Amino acid sequence: MYRKDAPSKRIASAEFEKADSLLAEGEVRQSAEIAQVLVRKHPSSPEAWHLLSRIYVRAAISSAACECAARAVRLSPSAPIFLVHYGQCLVATGQRREALETAGRAAAMNPTDADCNDALGTLLTFCEEPARALSFFMRAVALSPHDSRFLYNLATAQRMTGDFLGAETSLNRVIAIRPDDIQAYHTRASLRDQTLEANHIEEMTRLLQRGLRIPLQEVTLCSALAKELEDVGCYQKSFGYLKRANDLQRRQINYDVADDIALIDRIIQLHDRGAVRVNGGFETDECIFVIGLPRSGTTLVERILASHSDVTAAGELQAFPNELLKAVRAQPGGAMGRLDFVQRALDVDPAALGRMYINATRPQTGKTPHFVDKLPLNYLHAGLIRRALPRARILALVREPMDSCYAMYKTLFTGAYPFSYDLSELGRYYAAWHGMMRHWRDALGDNLLIVQYEDLVARQEDVSRRILAHCGLEWQDACMAFQNQESSVTTASAAQVRRPMYSSSIGKWRNLELELCPLIETLRHHEPPDGWRFAG
């Protein structure tokens, strides 16, 4: 999704114009120096504080951006663009509840310019409310039909809400306006299974052959080409583009998988059965957590649960890790590393953490007796979830290792899962993660149900009934027709989970056994004595 800050009424100042231009050119440091002088000279100017906030956003200094945005809103509370930008800053600092309240205030002002409507739609999408965002994106496009950024954001909301034909139409318009909009090609490729009769392979190949200046553009276009080529059965050619994309992406990342494995080992060591089963957590049975590696079926299970009349799908909430981070940072003590954090997390009052989490999920939750939090990375916090919310139900998705790793290798993630771009690192991480799932199975007891993806596909009703029973829910036939669920899907599975259960993705890696040898060898080396599968 493109994030576009709307221009605000500007203070009449050459310095302001210069700072704004420098920011647009990516000269963040110079722009910041001028803006800091401006807020000292004009402390009552909301435009100056808004500009400085935008600079801090670009510099990824979220707390400072939020403070400056709040100043702009206090100085000009009736300007919707300042409110919308403040809401985006709140999301970046993990304050989704406050961001939604801010979005509601801005929407009530009924903004009439395209930029503000687009920014408001973006804010709502960041809050996992794409259905609400859709009307604002449509209004932005109606007001400015040739702005490709507005069209692209509309397409993302259409995709999330299940309007794939509308999304493809919008993306075709984006590409007609900006033929070098690489992200539009990538998103369009994901909307449906491409066919020999209808695909965009030649179009994207020509674009790639002309050359791309920015590595991320090459990564994105090669990833899209790989997806479409796999769809039409050109597996080896697909893998060539996929490896090209992933090798290039991996070179852009400063990462050592050993650090992540050390973190997992530390969690296993400290978050044992005794540590996670303490008394005194927050008593509520409304929480259902779905955890697992990405592309393992977590969205599918969320949709099955959300088809039940007593359950709301809340999406991938950042609430638990955000509230945990706040609670640990509030403790006395200096700076800490990731391994120290694992220890200090056990000093957090569990009832307070549980209460903080529930409050942070409102108002998106509380409308039904239960809600699903489907943040995959909560697998790192499963023990702390048990401490804080002892009546929570946790479902962990596990997929056969080759299918699981190949599915991740094919997915271009944004700012997450850095282990997924190298086959050997993928295998090492999967083995460590699998060991953590075995640990949680023993430590969490009845709070945890491990769901083998292949079993769910093969025995949909039987496994679905076990899932609902684990969550204390009576069976409803609607859970067998999860594809009819109308709620939005913001993950990479947006298209797949609107189809009935299918098995075509199982074993797809076998088309590339030779190419995937580094992954096969790594997994073989780390395979546990009792194998990879959990008993069903």
* Cα–chain center distance at 9: 33
Please report the pLDDT score of residue 403 as a whole number: 95
Token pair for 355 = 């209460």
Whether residue 13 is contained in a domain is answered as no
**Structural domain that includes position 186:** 179-252
First to last CA, the chain: 39
Same domain? For 224 and 288 the reply is no
**C-alpha to C-alpha distances, 441 to 8, 75, 396, 448, 452, nearest whole angstrom:** 54, 53, 9, 7, 13
Q: What is the pTM of this model?
A: 0.85
Task: Report DSSP state, residue 279.
Answer: S
Same domain? For 425 and 375 the reply is yes
**H/E element, 474:** none
> Using CA of residue 55, residue 59, residue 61, residue 66, what is the dihedral sign?
positive
Same domain? For 271 and 418 the reply is yes
Whether residue 132 is contained in a domain is answered as no
Cβ-proximal residues to 251 (8 Å cutoff; 6+ apart), any chain: 215
Same domain? For 412 and 264 the reply is yes
> Of 239, 250, 265, 273, which Cα lies nearest the Cα of 431?
265
Same domain? For 512 and 480 the reply is yes
Please report the pLDDT score of residue 203 as a whole number: 95
Domain boundary among 237, 252, 267: 252
Same domain? For 416 and 509 the reply is yes
Please report the pLDDT score of residue 481 as a whole number: 83
> Of 38, 113, 120, which Cα lies nearest the Cα of 85?
120
> Using CA of residue 24, residue 25, residue 26, residue 31, what is the dihedral sign?
negative
Whether residue 78 is contained in a domain is answered as no
pLDDT tens digit sequence for 73-96: 999 998 999 999 999 999 888 788
Rounded to 5 degrees, φ, ψ at 80 are -60, -30
Whether residue 419 is contained in a domain is answered as yes
Task: Report DSSP state, residue 52.
Answer: H
Whether residue 10 is contained in a domain is answered as no
Same domain? For 299 and 227 the reply is no
> Of 71, 65, 119, which Cα lies nearest the Cα of 89?
65
**C-alpha to C-alpha distances, 350 to 275, 398, 489, nearest whole angstrom:** 11, 28, 31
Residue corresponding to tokens 């303490």: 278
CATH of the domain at 315: 3.40.50.300
Same domain? For 232 and 290 the reply is no
Whether residue 143 is contained in a domain is answered as no
> Of 154, 77, 169, which Cα lies nearest the Cα of 117?
154
**C-alpha to C-alpha distances, 327 to 331, 357, 358, nearest whole angstrom:** 7, 11, 14
- Specify the amino acid at residue 38: L
Domain boundary among 252, 269, 289: 252
pLDDT along the chain (536 residues), means of 10: 48 77 88 90 91 91 92 92 93 86 92 93 90 94 95 94 93 95 95 94 95 92 96 96 96 95 97 92 96 93 94 91 93 85 95 95 89 95 97 96 96 90 97 97 95 93 95 94 64 54 78 96 94 79
Same domain? For 329 and 419 the reply is yes
Decide the pairing of beta strands 287-292 and 448-452. Answer: unpaired
Give the count of domains, the chain: 2
10 Å CB burial of residue 351 (0-12, 13-18, 19+) is: middle
**C-alpha to C-alpha distances, 97 to 104, 455, 490, nearest whole angstrom:** 11, 37, 18
Whether residue 43 is contained in a domain is answered as no
Same domain? For 298 and 211 the reply is no
Same domain? For 377 and 287 the reply is yes
- Specify the amino acid at residue 387: R
Please report the pLDDT score of residue 489 as a whole number: 57
Token pair for 122 = 């973006």
User: How far, in Å, CA of 109 to CA of 445, rounded?
Assistant: 50
Domain boundary among 252, 287, 304: 252
Same domain? For 333 and 213 the reply is no
Rounded to 5 degrees, φ, ψ at 146 are -105, 10
SS3 89: helix
Whether residue 316 is contained in a domain is answered as yes
